Homo-oligomer: A and B are copies of this chain.
Amino acid sequence: MISTKGRYAIRVMLDIAQNDDGSYIPLKDIAERQDLSKKYLEIIAKELVAGGLLIGASGKGGGYRLSRTPDKYTILEILELMEGTLSPVVCLADKKYKCNRRKKCETLPMWQEFDNLVHDFFNRKKLSDLL
């Protein structure tokens, strides 16, 4: 399951892309349009800024804007920033994870195959595809 944070983040990015008029868009407007808690979106927007996906501006006339054009964003990077990882199992999500069954594990190849499928899907999917 993708968490609300990941799903809301996509909607925030999308909302900004759709309402882009060159100026900054305040969270208040996004929250209203998307019918989401402004307070919760603050957390999400902050992380999107920290990850370089959005640019934030304080003060009157401030808000958020995209740092690139919508076709330059993959859904994968948005989701990975919010979710941490999209890998289906710890063995693949955490590089440092030690499992002494790794070499003989009979399910790992399937998880790896699935992992590739997921990453490939969301990597090909651009923000502009949802506009």
Contacts and interface: CB of A to CB of B under 8 A. Distances in A.
Interface of A: 1-2, 7, 10-11, 14, 35, 75, 87-90, 93, 101, 106-107, 110-111, 113-114, 117-118, 121-122, 125, 129-131
B107 A2 contact: no
A125 B110 contact: yes
Given A7-B89, A117-B117, A121-B114, A107 B35 contact: no
Nearest to A122: B114
Q: For A1, A14, A89, A130, which residue has the most chain B Cβ atoms within 10 angstroms? A: A1
Interface of A is mostly: helix
A16 to B, nearest CB: 13
A32 to B, nearest CB: 13
Contacts of A131: 106
Contacts of A75: 110
Contact of A2 (B7, B10, B14, B88): B88
A88 B131 CA distance: 21
Contacts of A2: 88-89, 111
Nearest to A87: B1
8 contacts: A1-B88, A1-B93, A2-B89, A11-B106, A35-B101, A75-B110, A113-B121, A114-B122
